[in-house]
């Protein structure tokens, strides 16, 4: 049975079991839900569950704590959550309550969140290791220390307090790095929604349109597909495309401008992350086309490195080499290829990395290096490939014709046994494809 999250209770149970096996029988794992955050005075940001909590429970309410106790005979998965309250539910919507936590979310047991203080010390007692995200939520850190101290205060009466405190992310984030078939299906849906959204924006683009109008087209498509932006949409016309995480989205566009859109849908918690750069009038200028082709060939070179057994870092190195070679060819850099790469002169125009893991978070969890080495790609890993070139409008050291051009091309890639699958591959990407799409809109 699929729940609203698109993941079955059986899969959540499997995830918890896998994590508990890795943690071992004398451990206890404690995960608080994300707090609600005030936007201003008495209004709140839209609530988004903590990704780790979501990954292990599918539970979407705030004021909850998941406690996993491997091997405990009276139940291993315990949820503390809000009690049912008809009056509050009339204002804020339904709550699962303790019965719902068990019947709908597959918990072994559930208690009111108000009882946490009373019950948790007893659950900690006799467990030697505590897995928890230290330092993420200072208030909760203090509470946890308080519960541990309560157990310590009972040592004279035979209590056994935990004596090892471990970073939960170390185990859990390794697990989240490998996507299951159901997760991949959700990520494909998120990618498909984003493809439609980028096309919607390209369809209405014309000189004079404002960045926020393009953002509205994108995000209309997200909401119409029951999705949200996975991160703040970046819509930069002209030189605003050179600002890597541009956020104002309030500028106008002019004839001859490129528009850089970096926007992706979050569907059932799973992110997509796409960037396309297109001419607002539908036709690339000579300089825009040259740089766009260069970024595209850097992306193709990185994509060639996307297969099992290849080090993650190889994609970035391949992209940097192609970009640097091209910058030398176009006269934007001078000198020798090797020296420009070693001295990182390309960073004047390309200052970010070529990608990141993607999943429940847009910059998803998981180590990039293992034992000091770039980790090898394996089936089920998903990441972005997003090379770019940004020529500052104020860079007096380049010819004026290049200034103010910012280009990024970003796609989402799944590693498969056979190589890779580009989740966002349906979206027009090359200058020719973009021009053809804009010509027939």
Strands (E), 138-203: 164-167
Distance CA(110)–CA(410), nearest Å, equals: 43
Torsion of the alpha carbons at 54, 59, 62 and 64, rounded to the nearest 10: -100
Q: Is 61 an interacting residue with respect to ligand GLY (CB under 6 A)?
A: no
Looking at 354-413, list the stretches that DSSP marks H as alpha helix, in order from N- to C-terminal side: none
Start-to-end Cα distance in the chain: 41
Q: Which residues pair with 237 in a beta bridge?
A: 259
Closer by beta carbon to Mn ion, 70 or else 359: 359
Closer by beta carbon to ligand GLY, 79 or else 385: 385
Catalytic residue at 198?
Answer: no
Q: What φ, ψ does residue 152 adopt, rounded to 5°?
A: -60, -35
Distance CA(222)–CA(34), nearest Å, equals: 23
Within 345-374, the residues that bind ligand GLY by CB under 6 A are 356, 362
Closer by beta carbon to Mn ion, 11 or else 411: 411
Distance CA(419)–CA(410), nearest Å, equals: 18
Closer by beta carbon to ligand GLY, 47 or else 231: 231
Catalytic residue at 386?
Answer: yes
Catalytic residue at 226?
Answer: no
Burial environment of residue 332 by CB neighbours within 10 A (0 to 12, 13 to 18, 19 or more): buried
Catalytic residue at 313?
Answer: no
Lookup: tokens for 165: 């405190």
Residue 231 interacts with, from ligand GLY, Mn ion, none (CB under 5-8 Å by kind): ligand GLY
Catalytic residue at 356?
Answer: yes
Catalytic residue at 270?
Answer: no
Q: Closest residue to ligand GLY, Cβ-based?
A: 262
Q: Are 354 and 319 in contact (CB under 8 A)?
A: yes
Closer by beta carbon to ligand GLY, 171 or else 230: 230
Catalytic residue at 220?
Answer: no
Q: Is 231 an interacting residue with respect to ligand GLY (CB under 6 A)?
A: yes
Residue from 183, 192, 262, 314 touching ligand GLY (CB under 6 A): that is 262
Q: Is 361 an interacting residue with respect to Mn ion (CB under 5 A)?
A: no
Q: Is 273 an interacting residue with respect to ligand GLY (CB under 6 A)?
A: yes
Residue 69 interacts with, from Mn ion, ligand GLY, none (CB under 5-8 Å by kind): none
Closer by beta carbon to ligand GLY, 31 or else 259: 259
**71 Cβ contact list (under 8 Å, min separation 6):** 20, 25
Strands (E), 282-403: 369-370, 373-374, 382-385, 388-390
Residue 19 interacts with, from Mn ion, ligand GLY, none (CB under 5-8 Å by kind): none
Within 380-399, the residues that bind Mn ion by CB under 5 A are 384
Per-residue x/- marks for ligand GLY, 384-423, CB under 6 A? --x-----------------------x-------------
Q: Distance between alpha carbon 113 and the CA centroid of its chain, in Å? A: 29
Q: Is 272 an interacting residue with respect to Mn ion (CB under 5 A)?
A: no
Residues in touch with ligand GLY (CB under 6 A):
231, 262, 273, 356, 362, 386, 410
Residues in touch with Mn ion (CB under 5 A):
262, 273, 384, 410
């Amino acid at each position: 049975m699929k729940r609203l999250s698109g993941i079955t209770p059986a899969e959540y149970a499997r995830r918890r079991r896998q994590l508990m096996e890795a943690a071992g029988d004398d451990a206890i794992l404690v995960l608080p839900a994300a707090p609600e955050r005030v936007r201003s005075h008495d209004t709140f940001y839209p609530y988004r569950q903590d990704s780790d909590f979501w990954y292990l429970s599918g539970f979407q309410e705030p004021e909850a704590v998941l406690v996993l106790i491997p091997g405990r005979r009276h139940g291993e998965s315990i949820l503390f959550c809000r009690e049912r309250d008809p009056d509050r539910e009339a204002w804020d919507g339904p709550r699962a309550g303790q019965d719902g936590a068990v019947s709908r979310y597959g918990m072994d047991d559930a208690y009111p969140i108000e009882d946490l203080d009373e019950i948790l010390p007893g659950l900690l007692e006799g467990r030697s290791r505590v897995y928890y995200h230290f330092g993420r939520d200072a208030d909760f850190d203090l509470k946890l220390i308080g519960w541990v101290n309560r157990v310590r205060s009972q040592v004279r009466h035979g209590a056994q307090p935990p004596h090892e405190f471990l970073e939960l992310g170390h185990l859990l984030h390794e697990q989240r790095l490998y996507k299951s078939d159901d997760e991949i299906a959700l990520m494909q849906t998120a990618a498909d929604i984003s493809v439609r959204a980028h096309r919607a924006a390209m369809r209405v683009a014309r000189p004079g349109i404002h960045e926020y109008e393009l953002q509205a087209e994108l995000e209309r498509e997200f909401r119409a597909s029951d999705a949200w932006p996975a991160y703040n949409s970046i819509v930069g016309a002209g030189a605003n495309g050179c600002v890597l995480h541009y956020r104002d989205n309030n500028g106008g566009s002019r004839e001859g401008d490129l528009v850089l859109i970096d926007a992706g849908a979050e569907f059932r918690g799973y992110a997509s992350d796409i960037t396309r750069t297109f001419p607002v009038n539908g036709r690339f200028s000579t300089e825009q086309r040259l740089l766009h082709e260069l970024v595209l060939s850097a992306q193709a070179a990185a994509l060639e490195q996307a297969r099992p057994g290849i080090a993650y870092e190889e994609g970035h190195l391949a992209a940097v080499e192609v970009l640097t070679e091209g910058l030398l060819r176009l006269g934007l850099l001078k000198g020798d290829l090797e020296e420009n790469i070693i001295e990182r002169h390309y960073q004047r125009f390309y200052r970010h990395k070529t990608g990141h893991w993607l999943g429940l978070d847009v910059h998803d969890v998981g180590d990039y290096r293992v034992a000091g080495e770039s980790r090898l790609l394996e089936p089920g890993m998903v990441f972005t490939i997003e090379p770019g070139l940004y020529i500052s409008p104020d860079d007096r050291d380049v010819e004026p014709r290049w200034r103010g051009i910012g280009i990024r091309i970003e796609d989402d890639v799944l590693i498969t046994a056979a190589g890779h699958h580009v989740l966002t591959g349906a979206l027009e990407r090359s200058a020719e494809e973009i021009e053809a799409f804009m010509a027939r809109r």
